[in-house]
Structure 1
Amino acid sequence: MFSISLLPYSVQHYLGLAIGRLAKTILKSRVGIARRNLEICFPEKSDTQRQDILEGCFSHLGHSVVDTANAWFWPQWRFAKHFKVEGLEHLKKARQQPGGILLVSAHFWTLESHARAYGSLDPGVGIYRPNKNSVYEYFQYHGRVKANKYLVDRTDVRGMIKALRNENAVWYAPDHDYGTHAAVFVPFFAQDKAATITGTATLAKVKNVQVLPTYALRNQDGSGFTLVIEPALENYPQGDDKQDAQRINQVIEKAILRAPEQYMWIHRRFKSRPEGEASVY
């Protein structure tokens, strides 16, 4: 990956496309999962439209390998040349008030670039799953904190709360299916029963915390990507687990619809089902 980061940006683009094509050929099961997710979420779209999103998804998977290399190894001056910011005023407004910031995001293929870009503006704390391979874990951890403070294991809720109480920005992605513990079944796109964790509302209850939706999208012109920061959510949480979880899903849906092909459709978003219901996969 370090070698990839040394290549000219134009060469990286074609390398990313090649990796994406290879991944689509090798990862047959993931192709099937992605296709099924798109059928569930977008039944109103034609087969051709869903296929276009699927093809784009794997192209962006390939680009994510390149993006990760750049996010972990590029010097700041080079990284800064390839991203722009949309909504910086929302971050500045949030930082004018005391308290931490809960960055509600989602699993786009740009997530490594997202972490580096946001950290360039406001170094924060990331939530992640440690890798079992110690060598990979070393590079993952140090790559992700290149422009940020530190990382917290996704199971360490106390660590997240502590970071927020210390007025840090905490990156949090509640869009995957993490099981039925501390979760409710609420709509996500056209699926009316998607297991959604209630942790977002729990963290948002920390004193003076503001919730800012944020994500990064690759620019269509190939110039890099855009870090998007949206206004802080008002009147959140409400105190009703289902209502609060559904609102976060709506925030994530809005982000995905800006570039559905850039979202990680390869994960089984709907693997958990209410008792008695059959698997949708």
Structure 2
Amino acid sequence: MSQLLVGLLWLLHWLPFGALARVGSGLGVLLYVFAGARRHVASTNIRLCFPELDEAERTRLVKAHFRLLGRSFIDRGVLWWGSRERLERFIRVEGLEHVEALRAEGRPVILLAPHFVGLDAGGVAITMRFDIVSIYARQKDPVFDRWIHHGRSRFGDQLLLARDEGVRPTVKALKAGRPFYYLPDMNFRTRDAIFAPFFGVQAWTITGLPRLAKVSGAAVVNCATRMLPQGGYLLELGKAWTDYPSGDIEADTARMNREIETIVRTMPDQYYWVHRRFKTRPPGEPRRY
């Protein structure tokens, strides 16, 4: 079945961008109807994060999210097999000068890449321009594992580390000049995390960003990928954060969540709401899902 799906993605990747977007949206409608467990997770997350919305508004937001989720799956064919020239048309980049200026100064760079539906497209755009270091989580399905790994490493000389390899290889790569494409906004099972507010809800949050920034001397740059209405993506790179890290782990981790929250509010349908972001709860709090 996995091989058939990969074959279908290969066939579809030849379609024009607009047609790909329509096919992906249609897939998202089917996912919304049949993926009841994930629909429940997304609905719960959006209810917790946007309590000001009424039920009809939340439902519209969940449906929009699933349409974009479907598009992101179909678009992987372009990311895996599209030519460099086509990918340059598919994924536009703004703010690249901020990263280039930091690298020219010899400053290590951490690209804070929150989990938006366009995350993989942004990663491909970055690897077309820099040799980076990133964390790669092996997929359960060996067929999709092969192709996802291929998509993230097909350009340049990319360093993909397993999560259990620790921080030393990452710090070494940062100091050697590789930007770190960092995705820390999930509910990972780790002791190196604390509860920090995210949309006013306590979220189990990795403290790696301030720790890595401190030990490597790296600047932190927001790196968010926006899916465009008619097909394709826009990768937006921000200016380096100032006064970071401050030395206060709790304050610095909370700041990371606030930065991500600010970006989410500009495209609330594009955050990866199907993840159980609030699965781990403080002592005494009930389960959220």
Say whether the fold is shared (TM-score over 0.5). Answer: yes
Which secondary structure state, in structure 1, belongs to the residue aligned with residue 42 of structure 2? helix
Q: Aligned match of 1:150 in 149, 155, 159?
A: 159
Distance 2:143 2:93 in 1: 33
Q: Does 1:262 find its partner at 2:270?
A: yes
Alpha-carbon contact 1:100-1:165 (below 8 Å) kept: yes
Which secondary structure state, in structure 2, belongs to the residue aligned with residue 155 of structure 1? helix
Name the counterpart of 1:159: 169
Distance 2:96 2:80 in 1: 23
Distance 2:138 2:190 in 1: 22
Alpha-carbon contact 1:188-1:249 (below 8 Å) kept: yes
Name the counterpart of 1:121: 129
Distance 1:206 1:67 in 2: 37
1:4-60 residue CA offsets vs partner (Å, 9 max, x unmatched): 212232321221011101111121011011101011111112222222211111001
Alpha-carbon contact 1:129-1:153 (below 8 Å) kept: yes
Alpha-carbon contact 1:43-1:190 (below 8 Å) kept: no
Q: Aligned match of 1:273 in 246, 263, 281?
A: 281
Name the counterpart of 1:65: 73
In structure 2, the gaps of 5 or more residues are 1-8
Q: Does 1:186 find its partner at 2:202?
A: no
Distance 2:155 2:123 in 1: 8
Alpha-carbon contact 2:197-2:257 (below 8 Å) kept: yes
**Amino acid aligned to 2:96:** L
Aligned length: 279
Alpha-carbon contact 1:98-1:208 (below 8 Å) kept: no
Name the counterpart of 2:5: none
Q: Aligned match of 1:218 in 215, 219, 227?
A: 227
Distance 1:3 1:223 in 2: 17
1:86-139 residue CA offsets vs partner (Å, 9 max, x unmatched): 222212221221132111111111111110112222231221211233332221
CA RMSD of aligned residues (A): 1.5
Q: Aligned match of 2:40 in 26, 32, 35?
A: 32
In structure 1, the gaps of 5 or more residues are none
1:175-207 residue CA offsets vs partner (Å, 9 max, x unmatched): 11113511111110121x111110111111233
Alpha-carbon contact 1:67-1:110 (below 8 Å) kept: no
Name the counterpart of 1:196: 205
Distance 1:238 1:208 in 2: 12
Distance 1:241 1:127 in 2: 22
**Amino acid aligned to 1:45:** L
Name the counterpart of 2:183: 173
Which secondary structure state, in structure 1, belongs to the residue aligned with residue 46 of structure 2? helix
Alpha-carbon contact 2:225-2:233 (below 8 Å) kept: yes
Moved over 6 A (4+): none
Q: Does 1:48 find its partner at 2:56?
A: yes
TM-score by length of 1: 0.94
- Written as runs of structure 1 = structure 2, the 5 A alignment for 1:74-113 is 74-113=82-121
1:219-261 residue CA offsets vs partner (Å, 9 max, x unmatched): 23x1421110011111111121210110000111111111110
